[in-house]
Amino acid sequence: MAANTIKPVPVPTLETRPYWEGCQRHELRIQRCAACGQHQFFPRIYCSKCFNDRVEWVTASGRAKVLSFTIVRRPVSAAFAGEIPYVVALVTLDEGPTMMTNIVGSAPDQVEIGMPVEVTFEDWTEEISIPKFRPAQARSEPL
Amino acid sequence: MRGTTTESLKNKVAIVGAADTEVGVVPHLSATQLYVKAAKLALEDAGITKNDVDGLITCISFVEPFMYHAEMIAEYMQIFPRYCMTAPSGGGTTLAIMHHAASAIVTGMCDTVLITMADSQLSGLSRDKAIEAMSGAGHPQFERPYGPPIPAFYALLARAHEHAYGTTAAQRAAVAVACRKHASMNPAAQMRKPITVDDVLNSRMISDPLHLLDCSLVSDGGAAIIMTSAERARDFKQKPIYLLGTGEGHSHEHISQAISLTTSAAKEAGERAYAMAGIGPHDIDVAELYDCFTPVVIIELEDLGFCPKGEGGRFVEGGRIELGGELPINTHGGLLSHCHPGHPGSLFSVTEAVRQLRGECGPRQVKDAKVALVHGQGGIMSTHCTAILGREQL
């Protein structure tokens, strides 16, 4: 099979393994600095703000807002051809960090900047589940 | 401003040779041959031989990669430089190496530098290989699983700029129209048939809100320049074109880590270059801006101070960026219409700026062009370099 018919399955590293282990359990985990309180993503050995080493893994709320998005009409590779059109977005987590993701569970033309979204997981392999975001469900708790 | 190397390079270095190979569809030359042909043409333009070169800088080739690329080109040409460096990648880095070359000349690492860059992205790769290559962009764990083709990264910027400032598709299209108009006046350009705003808006949607004609070309081609000290430059055949200012800015590698989607490190790069040159945006006669996608030009015009933040969309309307307008940009046609072989992209902007400042551009000559600004960016608006070039020392 040609390489570009296979989706790019992430290979966890020493540094990212806790993130992917969280995803496997359908938990979105990011880092928080115990010294200054900053949340960060991607994972890093130190806090990117105060450079302290007291970074801890925490489970994020999974709530976010769409920062920007695009509707992909021409797939990046044959592996994604069946999903056209799909939404590639940047979302800002309620905790602060930004992530790239796909917006799922919505017609692509219904996606808007500022739209509240929540995490959902797509299981790719036994080890790897990919966090994606869908429109936030009817609010069960105050914003 | 923090980190400005004020006047350290100003007036001290000049470009004394500049040339492009044929560009566009060039199936009869390999990537390596394009590097060497560009080098030969630049040496001839400067009126020197390969043995007069004691510094060599190349960019990496995607199509014919070598671990030690510059060394490989030196070996191929049988030259034996005392300064030899390969620039890793991208439009920003490619232009930033002029900064390195100038520093190498001023510090005495070498006297005469050949910078040559080429690739054969169009003829050297199969269509599938090219698409596969595009899928290599983005963080392998945190971006690529979401399937972003390269235009999608830039579409995220375009959408954010639209949302923040009301920038429109027609305004982005005006950038493509201007570049094509200039390409139509340049016999060397890959795409020369004039287009209209409607042509852009009616072209296929690639990654909302970017249409096909908002995206740059895929090309073959090479460009090269020769740089030496201002003092030595007087002995060359060509009238020297002086480096007046240069500066860099680096803000992130991955777009999902960018601090802002609508303001880039072009701001810092430009401020550093202006500070070194001691001039400002109003002194620029012609600008060759990195135009891999139309929204990039709008953001660069703002960040480089040609208009206030958020006004870039309105700035590009009404022919202001076309020949005869207030600030002609991309007079060769840019990456959108002249050619885009990948890593070398910015160097064609440099060779065009040199030709404009020498007054060699015929029908597309900017009248009495004295000062040109060239800007390159690489990654996804990640790494920026601005250079200001002049017909005279300031």
Could you tell me the residue ranges of all domains in chain B?
13-125+217-390
Do A72 and B148 meet the contact criterion of CB atoms below 8 Å apart?
Answer: yes
Contact at CB, B256 and A100, closer than 8 angstroms: yes
Per the listing, tokens 């919505």 go with A106
Which has the higher per-residue pLDDT, A49 or A5? A49
Phi, psi of B393 (to 5 degrees): -70, 145
**Using the beta-carbon criterion (under 8 Å), do A75 and B149 form an inter-chain contact?**
yes
Distance CA(A106)–CA(B160), nearest Å, equals: 20
Q: For A113, name the nearest residue in chain B, comparing CA atoms only.
A: B163
Q: Is the pLDDT of residue A143 over 70?
A: no
* Encoded tokens for B169: 């598709």
Dist. CA B312–CA B309, nearest whole Å: 7
pTM of the predicted model as reported, rounded to 2 decimal places: 0.95
What's the Cα-to-Cα distance from A46 to each of A13, A31, A34, A49, A59, rounded to whole Å? 16, 10, 11, 9, 18
Question: In this complex, do B209 and A7 lie within 8 Å of one another by their Cβ atoms?
Answer: no
Quick check: B208 and A73 in contact, CB under 8 A?
yes
Q: Which residue from B134, B145, B151 is facing A8, i.e. has the nearest CB?
A: B145
What's the pLDDT score for residue A1?
Answer: 40
Q: How many whole angstroms from its chain centre is CA A84?
A: 20
Nearest to B135 among A73, A77, A90 (CB): A77
Residue A90 has a pLDDT of 98
- Which residues does chain A have within 8 Å of residue B151's beta carbon, measured at their own beta carbons? 74
Tell me the CA distances in angstroms from B147 to A8, A67, A81, B312, one per residue in order.
8, 18, 10, 29
A84 Cβ partners below 8 Å, 6+ apart? A72, A73, A74, A75
Q: Give the integer Cα–Cα distance in Å for A69 and B209.
A: 9
Q: Where does chain B show beta strands of DSSP type E?
A: 13-20, 55-59, 83-87, 112-120, 205-207, 210-211, 220-229, 241-250, 286-288, 371-378, 383-390
> Which pLDDT belongs to residue A5?
74
* Cα B137 from Cα B133, distance rounded (Å): 8
Is there a contact between B207 and A71 if contact means CB atoms under 8 Å apart?
A: yes
**Alpha-carbon separation of residue B144 from B135, B155, B225, B326 (angstroms):** 7, 16, 36, 41
State the pLDDT at residue B335: 98
Q: Looking at CA atoms only, how far is residue A143 from chain B in angstroms?
A: 23
Each residue's pLDDT, cut to its tens digit, for chain B (394 residues) gives 555 555 689 999 999 999 999 999 999 999 999 999 999 999 999 999 999 999 999 999 989 989 999 999 999 999 999 999 998 767 788 888 999 999 999 999 999 999 999 999 889 987 766 766 766 789 999 999 999 999 999 999 999 999 999 999 999 999 999 999 999 999 999 999 999 999 999 999 999 999 999 999 999 999 999 999 999 999 999 999 999 999 999 999 999 999 999 999 999 999 999 999 999 999 999 999 999 999 999 999 999 999 999 999 999 999 999 999 999 999 999 999 999 998 899 999 999 999 999 999 999 999 999 999 999 999 999 999 999 999 999 9
The SS3 assignment for B159 reads: helix
pLDDT at position B126 is 74
- Give the separation between CA B390 and CA B284, rounded to whole angstroms: 10
Domain coordinates in residue numbering, chain A: 14-135
CA–CA gap between residue B390 and residue B274 (Å, rounded): 13
How far does CA B75 lie from the centroid of its chain? 27
Which of A4, A10, A70 has its CB closest to that of B155?
A70
Provide the edge-to-edge strand list for the sheet that holds B383-390: B83-87, B55-59, B112-120, B220-229, B13-20, B241-250, B383-390, B371-378, B286-288
List the alpha helices (DSSP H) in chain A. Answer: 17-24
What whole-number distance in Å separates Cα of residue A25 and Cα of residue B196?
52
What is the pLDDT, as a whole number, of residue B5?
56
Apex B108 CA angle, B102 and B113, nearest 5: 50
The per-residue pLDDT for range A66-120, each reduced to its tens digit, is 999 999 999 888 899 999 999 999 999 999 999 999 999 999 999 999 999 999 9
Alpha-carbon gap: A51 to the closest alpha carbon of chain B (Å): 17
Judged against a pLDDT cut of 50, whether residue A2 lies above it is answered with no
Tell me the C-alpha to C-alpha distance, in Å, between residue B373 and each of A104, B100, B282, B345. 43, 18, 11, 15
Assigned token pair, B159: 């959408």
CB spacing of B255 vs A90 below 8 angstroms: yes
Report the complex ipTM. 0.95
A contacts of B156 (beta carbons < 8 Å): 68-70, 88-90
Does the beta-carbon distance from A98 to B256 stay under 8 Å? Answer: yes
pLDDT at position B6: 56
CA-based nearest residue in chain B for residue A103: B146
Q: Do A88 and B147 touch (CB under 8 A)?
A: yes
- Best mutation target among B125, B206, B256, B299 (most A Cβ atoms within 10 Å) is B256
The set of residues, in sequence order, having a beta carbon less than 8 Å from that of B282 and lying 6+ positions away, is: none
pLDDT in tens, A41-80: 999 999 999 999 999 999 999 999 999 999 999 988 889 9
In whole angstroms, give the CA distance from residue A93 to residue A41: 10
Q: Are B84 and B74 in contact (CB under 8 A)?
A: yes
Q: State the pLDDT at residue B311.
A: 98
CB contact under 8 A, A130 and B145: yes
Enter the tokens of residue B263: 């303001």
Across the interface, whether the CB atoms of B207 and A83 are under 8 A apart is answered no
Query: To probe the interface with B, which of A28, A30, A91, A100 has the most B CB atoms within 10 Å?
Result: A100
Chain A CA closest to residue B258:
A98
Q: Which residues 54-83 of chain A have a CB within 8 Å of chain B?
A: 67-77, 79-80, 83
> Which residue type sits at B116?
T
What's the CA gap between B296 and B339, in Å, rounded?
A: 17
Residue B235's contacts (CB-CB under 8 Å, 6 or more residues apart) are none
Best B128, B131, B132, B141 member to test A by mutation, with max A CBs in 10 Å, is: B141
Fold of B13-125+217-390: Peroxisomal Thiolase; Chain A, domain 1 (3.40.47)
